[in-house]
Amino acid sequence: MMGFGAGAPPGSARWLLGHELRQAWYGAAVNGSGKRRPGTAAIVAWIAGFAALHVFAWALLAKAGAGAVGLPLLAPVVTVVLAVCATFMLATALKACVLALFERGDLDLLLSSPLPSRSIFAVRLLGVAASTAALFLYLFAPFANVGLVRGHPGWLGIYAAVAGTAMVAACAAMLSTLALVRVLGARRTRVLAQVLAAVAGAALFLMTQLGNLLGHERSAGVGPVLAALARHPLLAADSPLWLPGRAALGDPLPLLGMLLLAGAAFFLTVGRTHRFFVHGLQQAAGSGRAAARPAGALTLRFRASLFDTIVVKEWRLIARDPHLISQVLLQTLYLLPLLLLILRDGGRVGAGVNPAVGAGLTLLCSSITGGLAWIVISAEDAPDLLVSSPAAGRTIRLAKLAAAAMPALLLVALPLLWLIVHAPLAGLLAAFTTVAAIVSAALIVQWVGRPAPRNNFKMRGKENFLCSMFELVSTLCWGGLGWLLVALAGGASEWTLAGAALALAAGCAVLLLAWLLRHRQDGR
């Protein structure tokens, strides 16, 4: 990768592609974060993980008897896996296209050079496809290699199938991004693509929770339905639906067809849209311009209370950054399985409430509050202005804490109310741990958090290890206490009570230690 473009004529497509791959390897700076190439420890960890995946693939294929399973039986399974991967490839490619069009900031320089725009667009699209395929090749290449060793050279088609799927996903993502730029404009397209990419991760979690979402009785009824569908002629082993799986397992004609489809998608996308790619870049360059001043006299509206003014101001600043909302509040999608657990178990008081409800609500709210507290407190854009203002520092700090804590409290208010009505003791105990976790997360960020730019949200854990560790330990303590207290409400052993007391003490100890290490607030 590092020497791919070495020796290529400057300005050639190969030279540009080598630069693109180096950018990916070094983790090209976004918003000025400036990453370096992966360290030795990270490279060793990747190699060790790749070796472990080979061991896992060998054990899995040996246990499943893959050598005795024919191509017609494996093809449906591989096709389903490829279809699921294609969904996440599309989300990843959308994010990469937004990065290529809006974030990198180097296309204006490239397009002002003598290089043809078609070559620039083609290389950028190849870079999107390569970055999209990288993770999935890392995960599935061990199966191809193990298959080769076990006497199935056709399984090397996994490489081509993953690369071809990634190319089609990259072309679809680029076309979708450019079409959205034409319909919605550059700024809205950027937000929408980032939100869609973030939703994909939460969707994977929801897919793993289908058993809980349906319940045991409905899950048991799914098996006969799937068995009946499997007998349909359209889903037979030789059905055309399974051609992608057959291609991945080395069937020559489907594999050739997949490669031809990927090549056709690439050349059609480059040939038909590279001019609009330049137009989209021009829109992106102008998307940050300030809006025109509204007509009429300037009016200033202040609230009666300084506390209310600060809270509303913080919420308004967060609302103006939908990407931050997608990063923080999309965690609420993880609340859906918990809501169904509450609705299903809450009405059966005699059977008790699932302890996972108390732990899940506590962990989720603590995580959301920690993220919002970092945005509101640590990522304050004008801390010096607030310190030098005539307002009382205590009022400002309390308002910021409230702005960070209130959204999580509002999110869980209805689930907790439902739980309290149907299982009063368990609901009250879950409410206690949830509120304690929310307050602790906000206080820890205020006491030991460090100022940081708002666009470093994803890197906040690495930049302030102490605060992150306090948040993690506090979250685990209160989450464990939520589990144990709800279990106690259903009648548990004395050891559960002792564990709950230990978790409570640990949570309070973490909060006390954070207070002792707190930053001084200039005497205010």
Let me know: does 365 contact 411? Beta carbons within 8 Å.
yes
Based on the domain organization, do 138 and 207 belong to the same domain?
yes
CB atoms within 10 A of CB 324: 20
For 334, the 3-state DSSP assignment is helix
Determine the Cα–Cα distance for residues 16 and 450; give it in Å rounded to an integer: 39
Determine the Cα–Cα distance for residues 48 and 264; give it in Å rounded to an integer: 37
Based on the domain organization, do 279 and 363 belong to the same domain?
no
Based on the domain organization, do 189 and 335 belong to the same domain?
no
Based on the domain organization, do 69 and 206 belong to the same domain?
yes
Q: Please calculate the CA angle 434-455-39 and round it to the nearest 5 degrees.
A: 95
- What's the pLDDT at 33? 43
48, two tokens: 């060790």
Q: What is the CA radius of gyration of the chain?
A: 27
CA-closest candidate to residue 176, choices 108, 105, 96: 96
Q: Residue 32 region, left (φ>0) first, then alpha (ψ -120 to 50), else beta?
A: left
For residue 272, give its domain range.
13-285
Q: Note whether residue 93 is domain-resident.
A: yes
- What's the pLDDT at 34? 45
Could you tell me which residues come within 8 angstroms of residue 468 by beta carbon, excluding any fewer than 6 positions away?
460, 461
- What's the pLDDT at 215? 53
- What's the pLDDT at 437? 93
Domain count, the chain: 2
Length, in residues, of the chain: 524
Based on the domain organization, do 85 and 192 belong to the same domain?
yes
71-98 helix and 186-208 helix, angle to the nearest 10 degrees: 140
Could you tell me which residues come within 8 angstroms of residue 129 by beta carbon, excluding any fewer than 6 positions away?
93, 163, 166, 167, 169, 170, 171, 266
Based on the domain organization, do 262 and 406 belong to the same domain?
no
Q: Note whether residue 312 is domain-resident.
A: no
Q: Read off the amino acid at residue 470.
A: F
Based on the domain organization, do 427 and 333 belong to the same domain?
yes
How confident is the prediction along the chain (524 residues), in pLDDT tens digits per residue? 455 555 566 666 777 777 777 776 665 434 434 445 666 777 788 888 889 999 988 888 777 665 545 555 677 888 888 888 888 888 888 878 877 776 666 766 776 777 777 778 888 888 889 888 988 999 999 988 988 888 888 889 999 999 999 999 999 988 888 887 777 776 677 677 766 766 665 566 556 555 555 555 554 544 454 455 455 566 666 677 888 888 888 888 989 999 999 999 999 888 877 666 666 555 555 544 444 555 555 555 655 677 888 888 888 887 777 666 666 666 666 666 666 666 565 444 444 567 878 888 888 888 889 888 888 888 877 777 777 777 787 888 888 899 989 988 998 898 889 888 888 888 899 899 999 999 999 999 989 888 877 666 666 666 677 888 898 899 999 989 988 888 887 766 767 888 889 999 999 999 999 998 886 544 33
Let me know: does 66 contact 74? Beta carbons within 8 Å.
yes
Residue identified by tokens 């050739």 is 256
104, two tokens: 């990198």
294, two tokens: 């509204």
Could you tell me which residues come within 8 angstroms of residue 246 by beta carbon, excluding any fewer than 6 positions away?
71, 75, 79, 254, 255
249, two tokens: 């397992």
Q: Note whether residue 316 is domain-resident.
A: no
CB atoms within 10 A of CB 140: 22
Helical spans, DSSP H, in 185-297: 186-208, 210-230, 243-248, 252-285
- What's the pLDDT at 239? 74
Based on the domain organization, do 266 and 334 belong to the same domain?
no
Q: Note whether residue 291 is domain-resident.
A: no
This prediction's pTM? 0.64
First to last CA, the chain: 55
Q: Note whether residue 420 is domain-resident.
A: yes
- What's the pLDDT at 226? 47
Q: Please calculate the CA angle 113-14-36 and round it to the nearest 5 degrees.
A: 85
Let me know: does 434 contact 361? Beta carbons within 8 Å.
yes
What does the DSSP assignment read for 90-133?
HHHHHHHHHIIIIIS--HHHHHTSSS-HHHHHHHHHHHHHHHHH
User: DSSP code of 168?
Assistant: H
Based on the domain organization, do 256 and 330 belong to the same domain?
no
CB atoms within 10 A of CB 412: 24
Q: Read off the amino acid at residue 412.
A: V
- What's the pLDDT at 435? 94
Based on the domain organization, do 376 and 276 belong to the same domain?
no
What does the DSSP assignment read for 36-80?
-PPPHHHHHHHHHHHHHHHHHHHHHHHHHTTTTS-HHHHHHHHHH
Let me know: does 247 contact 160? Beta carbons within 8 Å.
yes
- What's the pLDDT at 436? 94
Q: Note whether residue 474 is domain-resident.
A: yes
Quick one: the chain helix, strand, coil %, rounded to 5? 80, 0, 20
- Domain closes at, from 268, 285, 302: 285
User: DSSP code of 291?
Assistant: P
Based on the domain organization, do 365 and 225 belong to the same domain?
no
Determine the Cα–Cα distance for residues 183 and 313; give it in Å rounded to an integer: 31
**What is the maximum span of the chain, computed from C-alpha positions, in angstroms?**
80
Q: Note whether residue 315 is domain-resident.
A: no
Determine the Cα–Cα distance for residues 269 and 170; give it in Å rounded to an integer: 10
Q: Note whether residue 34 is domain-resident.
A: yes
CA-closest candidate to residue 359, choices 485, 468, 242: 485
- What's the pLDDT at 289? 47
- What's the pLDDT at 290? 47
Based on the domain organization, do 362 and 250 belong to the same domain?
no
Determine the Cα–Cα distance for residues 258 and 75; give it in Å rounded to an integer: 15
Determine the Cα–Cα distance for residues 72 and 287; give it in Å rounded to an integer: 52
